[in-house]
A and B are shown apart, each in its own frame.
Chain A
Amino acid sequence: MASLQLKTIAGPKGQARPALAALIAAMGDGVSGIEDAAGQYLHGGPVESASRIAVSLDGGTIGWVSGTEAGAGAMAGMLTFLAAKEAERRALGAEVLHLYREVHLIEQLSEQLSALLELSSVGSSALAQARRLIAGGHGAIFVTEGDGLRAIAEFGDRIDADAPLLGAVLRRGVAEIVNDVETDTRGLVDGLRAVICVPLRAKQVVGVMVLANSTSDEAYSAADLKLLNTIALQTASAIENSILCAEMVGAVRDREQLASIQKELDTARTIQLSLIPRVFPPFPDRKDFELHAQMTAARSVGGDFFDFFLIDSEHLGVVIGDVSGKGIPAALYMAVARTQIKTTALTGVTPEECLREVNRGLMREKASSLYSTCFYGILNTRTLEFRYCNAGHNPPLVVRAQGLEHLNSEGGLPLGLFDGLPYTGAMVQLVPGDSVFLFTDGVSEANNLALDDFTDERLEAVVQSLAHLPCEELVRRVTEDVLAFVDGAPQSDDITMVSLRVLG
């Protein structure tokens, strides 16, 4: 603080304050001169044999009054009194200014912090502001991370994150001043004498803030503690916001990644669906049989597939299958299996030979634990013999005028499980009007919201009741019935059915 000068009270040289001037005039010869500490006359001038009496402040002399003993004494006494009052006012003013500066800096900090999202910038801003308000040669802000503390900002000597004092403040959530670090057994770092440590408390304690001094004459006061607590309060919520924000950014990034994966899956699904026949009727020139198929795809990539092809003018191949698993691997496996089946089937081999060969092929290139069920049947359109082999697939239904039959046969295990498996074929004789209904477990195991299965029994009943309808309508109506049963429950698997009717 600047030193108080007599001229501040009495007025500068030759310009005595009006009230003082009036008083001096009224006192007549009582006051002949007023000198400042340097002996310069602010008022009047030297007079022979005048008494000279000191104006004092805080034990020192800031000037003299000369004149008669009584007059100079009274004036010096009054100026001493005014000087004391002025000094008091100034001390108060200095204190108010100090508080004002604090408020200003804290306000500035709030403004800064609200604009900062990055954890280390929050830390360094808060620490810089704390340094402007509270003396400290060393300091740091730590945030909790796992079981420990991590410094996000620091200056001066490094303060040990494992220091017991920090842990104690963090655990108890109560600030501490330690002005005799040497005797405190929870000491921080060699060479530090005074330490002030406050918790960073938002909704919960997110860390601690520390300031420290190397010399013992820079002890911390309760006022410092209060101030640092105020700063810590602002800092803590900024840190919490920053952490929340980082988490949100992470979540958005995850979601974006998820969305991109979903997009790839959708693409895979589109490709997969493009691999199965989509044009109906598939053989519009043929009047001796009718054929329809439908696949209601699950949201995720499933592994159902079907196919049909004319091996020659008298032989129609029909395939249905279901690859284990889901997603892109299942889609790729399905594409490979379907291609191998068709390629092999077109060589004219029997269904059991075909599936044996495909199984061998799949085992040769086996790169995953995936496998596929498969039913392959060949209709001789002249004799109406239907030869088939079932590799672990749901047995298709034969719908005849007199009722339903299951195409039960022990054809073999699903394709791609074990090498060198035997596959055996079977044959059923159809008559005009008979139809074969093929489906995947997505039909019989379709779930409603109560997680009940549609069941084989229900499927058989529905198929039988609709048996008189043309294939396309039969498939459509059965699908509708399954979806009505499911009643909006999430579809976890593809629902696939194929219906073939011989017309003779």
Chain B
Amino acid sequence: MKILIVDDEPHLRMLIQQTLEDLEDEGVELLTATNGEEALETIRAEEPNLVFLDVMMPKKNGFDVCDAVKNQLGLTNVHIILLTAKGQEFDRQRGQEVGADLYMTKPFDPDALLAKAREVLGL
């Protein structure tokens, strides 16, 4: 099983990676991408089970990546959780249109993030 972490901010990638580290022992592979285009390539190649996808990113933003995965590539079984910064207006409707499964706010609760990953992967 694979989880892809997409965020342009290195410290957030590291935090999420660290949060999910325990899952590695249970056979989960953690992948990272630093922007939308790289994310899309990785998703196409690896077909991860779960993607934590930052919304505000340069080049391709999270909505666009999600839209491409769910609607254009038709990879509907890739579970996508959008990450939005707290205080930032989140366009729920746009999130629904692009087929996101859930959205979480940053700063995130590490315990909740890990629990969600376990739930999605059925661990």
Q: Do the beta carbons of B15 and A93 come within 8 Å of each other?
A: yes
Partner of A108, one of B17, B22, B109: B109
Complex Cα distance, B91 from A98, in Å, reads 31
Interface of B is mostly: helix
Given known contacts A2-B22, A2-B24, is B14 in contact with A96 (CB within 8 Å)? Answer: yes
Q: Do the beta carbons of A104 and B15 come within 8 Å of each other?
A: no
A101 contacts chain B at the CB level, 8 A cutoff: yes
Q: Do the beta carbons of B110 and A1 come within 8 Å of each other?
A: no
Given the complex, which residues of A lie within 8 Å of B111, measured CB to CB? 101
Looking at the assembled complex, report how far the CB atom of A317 sits from the nearest CB atom of chain B, in whole angstroms: 83
Q: Do the beta carbons of A101 and B24 come within 8 Å of each other?
A: no
Q: Do the beta carbons of B18 and A90 come within 8 Å of each other?
A: yes
Cβ < 8 Å to A, chain B residues 78-123: 107-111
List 13 additional A-B contacts (Cβ < 8 Å) besides A101-B110, A103-B107, A104-B109.
A1-B21, A2-B21, A2-B24, A2-B25, A3-B25, A8-B24, A90-B21, A93-B18, A94-B18, A97-B15, A100-B15, A104-B110, A108-B109
Q: Do the beta carbons of B17 and A93 come within 8 Å of each other?
A: yes
B29 contacts chain A at the CB level, 8 A cutoff: yes
Of listed A3, A90, A97, residue having the most chain B CB within 10 A: A97
A107 contacts chain B at the CB level, 8 A cutoff: yes
12 A-B residue pairs with CB within 8 Å: A2-B21, A2-B22, A3-B25, A12-B29, A93-B15, A96-B11, A97-B110, A100-B110, A101-B110, A104-B108, A107-B107, A108-B109
A contacts, CB < 8 Å to B? 1-3, 5, 8, 12, 90, 93-94, 96-97, 100-101, 103-104, 107-108
Looking at the assembled complex, report how far the CB atom of B12 sits from the nearest CB atom of chain A, in whole angstroms: 9
- Please give me the 6 A-B residue pairs with the lowest Cβ-Cβ distance, nearest first: A93-B18, A97-B18, A2-B25, A2-B21, A93-B14, A2-B24
> How many residues of B are in contact with the other chain, CB < 8 A?
16
B42 contacts chain A at the CB level, 8 A cutoff: no
Residue in chain A with minimal CB distance to B110: A101
B61 contacts chain A at the CB level, 8 A cutoff: no
Q: Do the beta carbons of B19 and A97 come within 8 Å of each other?
A: yes
Looking at the assembled complex, report how far the CB atom of A34 sits from the nearest CB atom of chain B, in whole angstroms: 18
Given the complex, which residues of B lie within 8 Å of A2, measured CB to CB? 21-22, 24-25
Complex Cα distance, B11 from A96, in Å, reads 9
Given the complex, which residues of A lie within 8 Å of B22, measured CB to CB? 2
Looking at the assembled complex, report how far the CB atom of A14 sits from the nearest CB atom of chain B, in whole angstroms: 14
Given the complex, which residues of B lie within 8 Å of A100, measured CB to CB? 15, 107, 110
Complex Cα distance, B14 from A97, in Å, reads 9
Partner of A96, one of B15, B24, B29: B15
Complex Cα distance, B110 from A99, in Å, reads 11
Complex Cα distance, B47 from A438, in Å, reads 107
Residue in chain B with minimal CB distance to A101: B110
Given known contacts A2-B24, A3-B25, A96-B11, is B19 in contact with A104 (CB within 8 Å)? Answer: no
